[in-house]
Structures are given as C-alpha cells and as structure tokens.
C-alpha cells in the first residue's frame, strides 16, 4: 500500500544548531591541543546570552568565550537587530572537571580495555534510496537549507535572508517502497523586514507582511529550487509534476524574530535531524559536545559505517544496525541487524549479525582508532547531519590563549567511507 513519509532539517542558524556548533567547536579545540581530552559540553543560547556547561578532563586551557563568539560570527549572527550577535552577547562558562567515578570506567592502563563512557544503545542505518545511502526526504531537506544558506552568504539573488531556517519534505512511496513524488515542501526562513508598511495601521502592516510572504515564496520557487536541481539533477524526476507539489513557505506569515531571540537553543535537541530523519531508529543519545569515548557518538558513527558498507556491498537494500553497551565495559552487550526483508544473501538477520561481529571490532578503543575519532573533526558534523556527508581531508588551524597555534590535517566523516565493501563481499561470498 502506498504511503507518505516526512523528514525535516534545520539550518546552521537554528538556535539548537547554534548550540550544537558551539559545543563541537569546544570539542575540536580541546582535541587539537590534547587528543586524550575527555569532554562533555552543553550549550544554551537565548536572547543575548550563551551559557556553557559540562565536564572536561584535559591538559590544555582554552578561551571558551572566544571560541563561542567565533562560531556565532561564522554562522552569521553579526547584527544587533538580531538581538543575538557575536560581539555583544554575554558568554557564561560553567565548565568543570569530569567525574572521577566516570573516568575510572573509561581510562585503562591497557588502552584496548577502554570502557564505554555510558550505557545505552546506538543505531546505524543505510538505504539504497540515494547515492549517499540516506533516506531521500531527509537528504532533500538538508540540501534545500544548505543551498539557502549559500544564497544568504552570497547576498546577491536574495538579499533579505537571516540565519534561522527550517525545511520539511513529505514524499509519496509506491507499493514497492520506492519514492515517486514530492507531496509537500515546507520551508520557513527568517528574513529582514524588507517591505515596510505604508503607515502604522493594522491594514498597512498586514499588507506589507503579505507582500513579503509572496516575495519569499516566489524566490524559493524561482531561485532556490532551480539552484538545488542544478546541483543535484538526480532529483529532477521528483519535481516533474510541479503543479501537484504543495508549497508551504513561511506559513505563519512573517519570520523576522528568530534565532536565539525567538527560541532558546540547547545542545542535542535535533538528534533526528542529525541522523536519519525518522527512518531506521535512534537510541536517544545526542552527539554534539561529546568526545569519542562517549559511545552515544562514536558507536552511532560505527554502526552507520557498518550499515552503509553492508548495503554498498549488496548484502541488503536497507539495513539497521544496533549495538549496546554497559558503562565501563569494553565489549558490547549486544549486536542486532535488521534488513527489513531486503536481504540479498541466503542468511537470516541473526546470521548476518554474527558475521558482522567477526568483521568489525566494536570495542570503544577500536572504534576510535579505526575511524580516527580522536581528532578535531566535529565542527563540520554539527549542522546538516552527521550522516550521509562526503569524506574528505582538510587542514584546520587552532589558536589558544598566549597565541599558540596548531595546524592539523584531518579526515572528516570517516564513517562514511566505503572501505570495508571488499571485506564484506568476501565474507558473504558476494565476489
């Protein structure tokens, strides 16, 4: 039976994503100067204020206020009328030392025995729906906002955009579980008051609001959508019946008050946006602000790596991987595989899981080592999804108080590499 499925995304200027980006910038700076740092940092942003809290064990000292301001500046909160800007917002730090009780369960004399930083279950997912092995509705939602942010930074074709934005895509699937068309596109973008009312009457204000909304809707359809399709032509088929697509653009009317002035933002409050848009499953643990000893983060990356390589190798068209841990214990307490009946090998899901366990070492130390997670690679994950991104090598420069700088070359999104496909094909006799 055909059905609809919806996923959403939020921009880098969304309050919760500002918080995620600040928390991950702190992680990167700690790891750049002390790769053995243990960090769990939470951020709260609201009107004119940033609050940093959390636990840290590190041999380095950072100017956390300056790091937070640099992130806010980069995102684009640079004007006083936003009621939240990089230069004037207050930054309060309440970061303190990590609990010794937790640390004793993680740090071990033999690094291979490193325990999990917490209990819990983590999920990885992959599907053949897109070239990135990601769910299509989420992939499109991310891409709309990435291109909208590019238009904002260019400030040429559309000149009124502010940093806060959200998108949402509803797709129709056919009886074979294949996406066939876009049903609805929802997009809300913060904007300047670029059409002023003729006077102070309620009628004039309403008329200006209506004119702004009409202009924004027209620009989304005539500028943003063509820009997305030019960059991602593989999605043109979804827009062929354009008249049947329902557009809900800034459906409340205007969106001038936004960002942390419009809503308080907190680290870790967009975990479905960060992962699979509601497809597959989620263990409930957030990623941003956590160093890789926290399996909420590292094991979620490891299970995505497994799921993606399994699908790419042809084991199944859709795969969900679950792993679970006890705090302070290195060996996972469980491993589960679900292929949703799409398996291409003559094995049960339980038998597939048994082979996966032989192929992949899911002890925390080996996840960190194999995916190169003790590097400053996390700022890039904190907006537009942790999964489905392109692996690449970049050089990054960090500065700490006293003027000391450090340049490092790192691999980003290592869990997205298809580097185990041949091993899997051999193990499952798919060569």
What DSSP string describes 279-290? Answer: SS---S---TTB
Closest alpha carbon to 54 in 288, 226, 321, 397: 288
Q: Is 423 known as a binding-site position?
A: no
Q: Is 14 annotated as a binding residue?
A: yes
Parallel/antiparallel/unpaired status of strands 179-191 and 161-173: antiparallel
Is 374 annotated for ligand binding? no
Which is it for strands 120-127 and 318-325: parallel, antiparallel or unpaired? antiparallel
Judge whether 166 is annotated as a binding position. yes
139 is in an annotated binding site: no
CA 265 to the chain's CA centroid: 15
Of 71, 16, 24, the C-alpha closest to 44 is: 16
Give the Cα separation of 148 and 320 in Å (integer).
Answer: 31
Token pair of 362 as six digits: 């899911």
The reply, when asked if residue 164 is annotated as ligand binding, is yes
Number of residues that make up the chain: 431
Cα–Cα distance measured from residue 129 to residue 148, given in angstroms and rounded to the nearest whole number: 23
User: In angstroms, how far is CA 411 from the centroid of its own chain?
Assistant: 17
- Is 16 annotated for ligand binding? yes
Count the neighbouring beta carbons within 10 Å of the beta carbon of residue 390: 8
Q: Is 42 a known ligand-binding residue? A: yes
Beta strand ranges found along 21-73 (DSSP E): 38-46, 49-57
Q: Are strands 404-412 and 392-400 parallel, antiparallel or unpaired?
A: antiparallel
Name the DSSP letter for residue 206: H
Closest C-alpha to 12, from 72, 59, 75? 75
CA 104 from centre of chain: 30
CA terminus-to-terminus distance, the chain: 35
Alpha helices in 2-132 (DSSP H): 15-33, 64-75, 100-106
Is 331 marked within a binding site?
A: no
318 assigned binding-site residue: no
Say how far apart CA 39 and CA 291 lie, in whole Å. 5
Residue numbers in the known binding site for Mg(2+) are 16
Residue numbers in the known binding site are 14, 16, 42, 55, 98, 164-166, 263, 269-270, 286, 290, 294
Residue numbers in the known binding site for L-methionine are 55, 98, 263, 294
Residue numbers in the known binding site for ATP are 14, 164-166, 263, 269-270, 286, 290
Residue numbers in the known binding site for K(+) are 42
């Amino acid at each position: 039976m055909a059905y609809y499925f919806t996923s959403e995304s939020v921009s880098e200027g969304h309050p919760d994503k500002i918080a995620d980006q600040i928390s991950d910038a702190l992680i990167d700076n700690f790891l750049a100067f002390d790769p053995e740092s243990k960090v769990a940092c939470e951020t709260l942003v609201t009107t004119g204020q940033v609050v940093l809290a959390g636990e840290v064990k590190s041999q380095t000292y950072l100017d956390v206020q300056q790091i937070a301001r640099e992130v806010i500046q980069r995102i684009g909160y640079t004007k006083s009328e936003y009621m939240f800007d990089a230069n004037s917002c207050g930054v309060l730090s309440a970061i303190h030392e990590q609990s010794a009780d937790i640390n004793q369960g993680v740090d071990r004399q033999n690094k291979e025995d490193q325990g999990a930083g917490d209990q819990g279950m983590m999920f990885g997912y992959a599907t053949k729906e897109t070239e990135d092995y990601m769910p299509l509705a989420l992939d499109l939602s991310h891409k709309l906002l990435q291109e909208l942010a590019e238009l904002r930074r260019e400030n040429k074709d559309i000149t009124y955009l502010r940093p806060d934005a959200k998108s949402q895509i509803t797709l129709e699937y056919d009886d074979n579980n294949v996406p066939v068309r876009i049903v609805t596109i929802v997009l809300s973008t913060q904007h300047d008051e670029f059409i002023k009312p003729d006077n102070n009457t309620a009628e004039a204000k309403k008329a200006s609001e209506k004119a702004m909304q009409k202009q924004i809707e027209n620009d989304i359809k005539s500028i943003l959508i063509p820009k997305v399709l030019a960059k991602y032509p593989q999605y043109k088929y979804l827009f062929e019946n354009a008249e049947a697509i329902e557009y809900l653009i800034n459906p409340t009317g205007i969106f001038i008050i936004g960002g942390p002035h419009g809503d308080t933002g907190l680290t870790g409050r967009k975990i479905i946006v960060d992962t699979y848009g509601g497809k597959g499953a989620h263990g409930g643990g957030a990623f941003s602000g956590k160093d890789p000893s926290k399996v909420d983060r590292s094991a979620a990356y490891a299970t995505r790596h497994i799921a993606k390589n399994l699908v790419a190798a042809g084991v199944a068209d859709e795969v969900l991987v679950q792993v679970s841990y006890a705090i302070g214990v290195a060996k996972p307490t469980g491993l589960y595989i679900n292929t949703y009946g799409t398996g291409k090998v003559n094995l049960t899901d339980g038998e597939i899981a048994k082979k996966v366990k032989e192929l992949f070492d899911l002890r925390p130390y080996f996840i960190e080592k194999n995916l190169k997670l003790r590097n400053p690679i996390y700022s890039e994950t904190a907006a537009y999804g942790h999964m489905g991104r392109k692996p690449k090598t970049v050089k990054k420069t960090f500065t700490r108080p006293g003027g000391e700088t450090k340049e490092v070359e790192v691999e980003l999104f290592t869990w997205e590499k298809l580097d185990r496909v041949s091993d899997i094909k051999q193990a499952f006799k798919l060569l």
